[in-house]
Amino acid sequence: KVPNTLGQKQGLNAAWITDQQFACYAFGKANHDRAPGHNTLPVDVNLVGADFIFEEPNIRSMMAECGRVFYQLQRLRYGLTEDPSKPVDYVKLSRQYRMIVRKALKGMNVQVSAMPEKDLALDAYSRLISLFYAIECTWHLLEFLVIDSNTSGAVVSSLLEWVRFHFPVPERAATEMLQNGRELDKHDNYWTVVKGLILQGQTTIARALLRVHTCSETHCFQVAEQLLQSIPIYSVYSGLSVHRYKTQWQCWCDNVRTLIAAGSFGAEPKLEELLRLVSGERKAWAEQFRSATCWYEHFPGYLLYTDSSCKYYQLGQYANDWIALLETHGGIDERQFKFLDKLVLAVMENNLVHVLQQVQLFPDNGWFAVHIVDLLYHGGFLEMGSAAGGPDDGQASAANTGRGGEVADGKLVRESLLYDFGCLLMSYGSFWQLGMDYLEFSSTEGLGARECLLARVPFHTDRQAMRIIAVAHKNNYPDVTTQVCRILTKRNLAVRNYGGALEWAIRSEDSANVRDVANIFLEHYCNHGELLCEKQIEHLGSKVFISSRLVFLKKYYDFRKFYCDQSYAQAAELLVSLMDSKIMPSYFWPCLMSDAIPLLEFKEPIIPSKETYTILEHLQLDLVPMLEQRKKHREQHSNGKTSVPADDTAQEHDQTALIPKFSSNLLNNCTEDLIKMLRLACARNLSRALIIENSISEQ
């Protein structure tokens, strides 16, 4: 239920944001003639999305391991390994995927077993276990029916192995019984276990249990033993033709039915039921559905005892015949099939189009669809067309020969799934690196999205930021590096860590960003007479050339150092050169002129007359206009006119000022007293300098 009060009255509308999220908002007819009241309901927009399941520790580990297998597959497929000519073993890779899923399932089962019954997380874990069990079950089926080309012959043995793995109760119970000794028929579930083994085609273990029965020496048991021992089983490696096998099978079945009709097993009805099953009696098999959990649990066993030479292209017909049999005798209705039941049927019918549509409906954030489609695409089991390319096209085409259910535009399906999945992972801070890998091998659009999404990855520490910057450097994304450094610069400024802000600004290699930080240092000095982070400024080296403002900051630091070291001549020379330079911000004139006064007051002038004229020129052209601007500002304020905002004031004498609270006081540094003192100092220094210069010239 969407918690939207207005929507419950007016109605709701929805708009998709991504394939995993949509927005709900109120939508309906409204009476615009009514005057708006004070008690109007708030207009809310509710975001509805699929649960992100990858945060669970076992699934997180599974994601990381499967991501490595995925990356390995791409490198193998596109010839990025040491031996690009080596063929790709898709079955091996598929088994690696399934092994990782089973490991995650085992971990979640262990975790669930340790939880108390009232734990709120128990239901969530149970749903996750059911989800990934269905994924592994479907993947296993696709592996030996579609991916493994060696199963292009008979598939019954692989189906039996599949059903035994996913329904292991009979085999486990039989193993436990055989370990307990004789007189096993005293157990209440003895015949249930034996029948379960027969239904799964495990006749060898079933015979072992029958031999320990207390009546195993009787005639009917001996006959049953001989029949089960001589049952013909088809194998592609036996050298027996299908026609000859079917002849032998028919003779064997006729023999069993004759013995049953003669009443040879009348004394043991349970044993007779077993022989009816192994002889393929349809009614006997239909009755077993009552003990089954799904339609396909006993289907492989039924195939074994009716046509063990069944090929994959025949499997769909046999599956539908089996379902029809169950509908007739067992009361099953195909319309009541669960999601996994329908998916298994689609795989057996070799309807890959429907299979790919269904796997995208798993509530796993698209994980299964991405990996199985990618595996099928690279293996050549989807119709890729001429755009597929790559070194394995010949192998893929050969593997696809004889397979039905090709998927049109398989390449586009794969790229679309990879793009959506990669974007989803990039939107979560702890999975963005995996998302980069998936987007790398998606479409051209995905490659472009990597740079945009990498710049939006949230980070909270410098270490996380460095990880993003490292990936940006690796993929040649300079804009991403710049954006991350800008963010860190602002964060350091917010906590008054000016040294860190300067370091990240320089690392961004963005002249505008560096200029803004340098402005903060200079404006702070104008207002407080203190230069921030002097040691850091001293060791800037060649980094100063990123921004002209940073060059000025470094040169002004050098001026102050010369002055403190009493190297007054060098300080004066540098000061005048800074005045003549075009890199000084206009708001810094009062400070620079103030620094010139003590250098002009030396008895033995260290500033020649020419440089003194330069100072007077800048005094008249730069400092006096600032004083006039200050007077104008005061007049406007005293007349009650709207004062110029602090930001605008800053922009008038330097548009790059970053912190208004500094800039708002810059005009106050320019006073009439400063100008008078500077003119007087210049006049004195000029008179002394001219006397000395003229005296030297006369000599």
User: pLDDT tens, 228-281?
Assistant: 999 888 876 666 788 888 899 899 999 999 999 988 888 889 999 999 999 999
| 650 and 548 belong to one structural domain | yes
| 302 and 417 belong to one structural domain | no
- The residue-averaged pLDDT of 611-638 equals 83
Give the three-class secondary structure for 556.
helix
Residue type, 225: E
| 547 and 681 belong to one structural domain | yes
Q: Is residue 397 part of a domain?
A: no
- The residue-averaged pLDDT of 9-30 equals 74
pLDDT value at 644 more than 60 = no
pLDDT for the residue numbered 673: 83
Residue type, 452: C
For the chain, the distance separating the N- and C-terminal CA atoms, rounded to the nearest angstrom, is 102
Note whether 89 and 148 are within 8 A (CB). Answer: no
Q: Identify the band that residue 21 occupies on the pLDDT scale cut at 50, 70 and 90.
A: confident
Q: Is residue 301 part of a domain?
A: yes
262, 295, 310 - which closes a domain: 310
Residue type, 393: D
- How far apart are alpha carbons 50 and 365 in whole angstroms? 7
Query: Cα dist. 464→54, 471, 532 in Å?
Result: 20, 11, 27
| 521 and 638 belong to one structural domain | yes
Average pLDDT, the chain: 84
pLDDT for the residue numbered 529: 85
| 165 and 285 belong to one structural domain | yes
Give the three-class secondary structure for 308.
coil
| 448 and 514 belong to one structural domain | no
| 297 and 428 belong to one structural domain | no
592, containing H or E segment: helix 589-600
* Per-residue pLDDT tens over the stretch 426-474: 988 889 999 999 999 988 888 899 999 999 999 999 999 999 999 999 9
Q: Is residue 341 part of a domain?
A: no
Q: Is residue 250 part of a domain?
A: yes
Q: Is residue 477 part of a domain?
A: no
* Per-residue pLDDT tens over the stretch 403-428: 445 556 888 999 999 999 999 999 88
pLDDT value at 527 more than 90 = no
DSSP summary character for residue 86: S
- Cβ-proximal residues to 104 (8 Å cutoff; 6+ apart), any chain: 58, 59, 61, 62, 132
- How far apart are alpha carbons 379 and 484 in whole angstroms? 40
Both tokens of residue 295? 């339609």
| 532 and 433 belong to one structural domain | no
Look at the chain and report how many structural domains it folds into: 4
Q: Is residue 638 part of a domain?
A: yes
| 302 and 418 belong to one structural domain | no
* Per-residue pLDDT tens over the stretch 134-188: 999 999 999 999 998 765 567 899 999 999 999 999 999 998 888 876 667 778 8
More confident residue, 296 or 289: 296
Q: Which of 612, 609, 583 is nearest to 596 (CA)?
A: 612
Both tokens of residue 168? 């292991």
* Share of the chain residues as helix, strand and coil, in percent rounded to the nearest 5: 70, 5, 30
| 523 and 446 belong to one structural domain | no
Q: List the domain range (segments joined by +) for residue 436.
A: 412-454
DSSP summary character for residue 641: P
- How far apart are alpha carbons 290 and 345 in whole angstroms? 20
310, 332, 361 - which closes a domain: 310
DSSP summary character for residue 603: S
Q: Is residue 119 part of a domain?
A: no
Q: What are phi and psi of 26, to 5 degrees?
A: -70, 140
pLDDT for the residue numbered 152: 56
Q: Is the dihedral of CA 80, 81, 83, 85 positive or negative?
A: negative
| 529 and 652 belong to one structural domain | yes
Of 61-70, 193-202, 546-555, 688-697, the poorest mean pLDDT is in: 688-697
pLDDT value at 493 more than 50 = yes
Report the largest interatomic distance among the alpha carbons of the chain, rounded to a whole angstrom. 150
Note whether 191 and 238 are within 8 A (CB). Answer: no
Q: Is residue 318 part of a domain?
A: no
- What count of other Cβ atoms lies within 10 Å of the Cβ of residue 112? 15
| 528 and 444 belong to one structural domain | no
pLDDT value at 655 more than 80 = no
* Per-residue pLDDT tens over the stretch 295-347: 999 999 999 999 888 888 899 999 999 999 888 876 677 778 899 999 999 99
280, 310, 340 - which closes a domain: 310
